[in-house]
């Protein structure tokens, strides 16, 4: 019996009942193409389906291990924290009473002798210009707080009118521990030895705003202590020039735990963790202009226009008045001893500096490459000496602030 030929969709017998022949397409290829294009969907074999599912499983497992291994780049997490987390109610619920498309709570727990006076002066101008609430404190020398003091300060900060930027010399505060909303943190640090030398001589001799200011800040300092040679202080291991007094920068990022004040790996690693999880930006004083530029990028509602204000000649003139006077350089032997005593501070400083330069590269900013110095970097005074006072800022700066703001 003659077999019945298979019919194809176009009518007539299928020219290739067992599939298209290999080695080229004979006449009739057009009808084959029309048949394939007319299929509503492609059919897969069970083997193809299993392969797709296995690929999906490998992808999901890889994504899980990626998250457990550290998750997405720190930069993306910071931007998510900056932009905030969107929820279903954000798009479908009732509109909030006040929409703040930027972090409405910012804390600058400024490190002493790291240029924070300059930044605070800029913030005074910017708060008037942009309308955010600049919250300061009359307490300047109490960085370590008891549990009750932490609760009280966090309560006072959290109830401030938003948007606010709070600034004070205080070690890192964990708001979430006391049921508060964790704010966005920012800060600036500098080379540890340079910071120590700036503080050592500033306590004794003040700055160019008035050499008598130091008499007000340290009235109980004896003359022999005031004129103590820096080399003797270091080589003879005076308390001011040894640990734990030299362990200064890390506690600002480690927090209020007692172990944060003990030089060691525990405090160092906790400080790094807090930098990654709670600080939007930690800048380097030696590159202050780039710090201000990134702050303007990240927090435009607070820092828009800050770089142009900072570069104003009048601001530069005032900044030069905060340079510490009678500052001398220790001997190489003394500096090496300081470097050894501050090894944890330097490890943290270089970690922050590396993260800062990585952030700059992501935004297309190039770090200035200087020629290698004949001596270690900490022998050379930093190009920008903006010092932080120990007490209240002088009221005679207000006139300058008003004049520069009116321009």
User: Does residue 233 sit in helix, strand or coil?
Assistant: helix
CA distance 117 to 363: 27
CA distance 370 to 372: 6
Q: Which two tokens stand for residue 88?
A: 């279903």
Q: How many whole angstroms from its chain centre is CA 71?
A: 18
Q: Which two tokens stand for residue 205?
A: 């001799």
* Residues belonging to the active site: 169
Residue among 138, 133, 123, 147 nearest 168 (CA):
138
CA distance 1 to 3: 6
378 secondary structure, DSSP code: G
Residues found in the chain: 407
CA distance 379 to 328: 10
2 secondary structure, DSSP code: P
CA distance 290 to 296: 10
CA distance 306 to 130: 11
Burial class (CB in 10 A: 0-12, 13-18, 19+), 302: buried
């Amino acid at each position: 019996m003659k077999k019945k030929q298979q019919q194809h969709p176009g009518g007539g017998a299928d020219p290739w009942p067992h599939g298209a022949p290999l080695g080229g397409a004979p006449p009739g290829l057009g009808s084959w193409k029309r048949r394939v294009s007319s299929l509503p969907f492609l059919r897969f074999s069970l083997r193809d389906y299993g392969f797709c599912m296995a690929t999906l499983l490998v992808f999901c497992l890889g994504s899980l291990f990626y998250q457990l291994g550290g998750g997405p780049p720190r930069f993306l997490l910071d931007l998510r924290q900056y932009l905030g987390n969107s929820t279903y109610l954000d798009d479908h619920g009732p509109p909030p009473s006040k929409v703040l498309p930027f972090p409405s709570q910012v804390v600058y727990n400024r490190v002493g002798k790291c240029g924070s006076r300059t930044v605070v002066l800029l913030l005074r101008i910017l708060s008037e210009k942009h309308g955010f609430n600049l919250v300061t404190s009359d307490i300047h020398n109490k960085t370590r707080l008891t549990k009750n003091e932490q609760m009280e300060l966090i309560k006072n900060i959290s109830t401030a009118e938003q948007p606010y930027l709070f600034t004070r010399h205080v070690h890192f505060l964990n708001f979430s521990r006391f049921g508060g909303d964790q704010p966005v943190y920012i800060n600036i640090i500098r080379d540890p030895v340079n910071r120590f030398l700036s503080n050592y001589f500033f306590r004794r001799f003040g700055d160019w705003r008035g050499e008598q200011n130091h008499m007000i800040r340290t009235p109980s300092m004896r003359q022999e202590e005031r004129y103590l040679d820096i080399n003797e202080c270091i080589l003879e291991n005076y308390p001011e020039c040894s640990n734990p007094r030299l362990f200064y920068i890390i506690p600002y990022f480690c927090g209020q735990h007692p172990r944060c004040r003990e030089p060691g790996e525990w405090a160092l690693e906790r400080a790094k963790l807090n930098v990654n999880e709670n600080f939007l930006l930690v800048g380097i004083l030696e590159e202050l202009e780039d710090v201000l530029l990134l702050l303007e990028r990240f927090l435009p509602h607070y820092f828009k226009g800050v770089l142009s204000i900072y570069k104003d000649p009048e601001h530069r003139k005032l900044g030069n008045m905060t340079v510490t006077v009678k500052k001398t350089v220790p001997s190489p032997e003394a500096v090496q001893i300081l470097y050894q005593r501050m090894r944890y501070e330097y490890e943290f400083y270089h970690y922050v500096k590396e993260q800062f330069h990585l952030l700059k590269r992501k935004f297309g900013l190039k770090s200035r490459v200087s020629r290698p110095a004949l001596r270690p970097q900490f022998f050379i005074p930093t190009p920008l000496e903006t010092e932080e006072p120990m007490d209240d800022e002088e009221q005679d700066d207000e006139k300058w602030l008003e004049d520069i703001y009116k321009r």
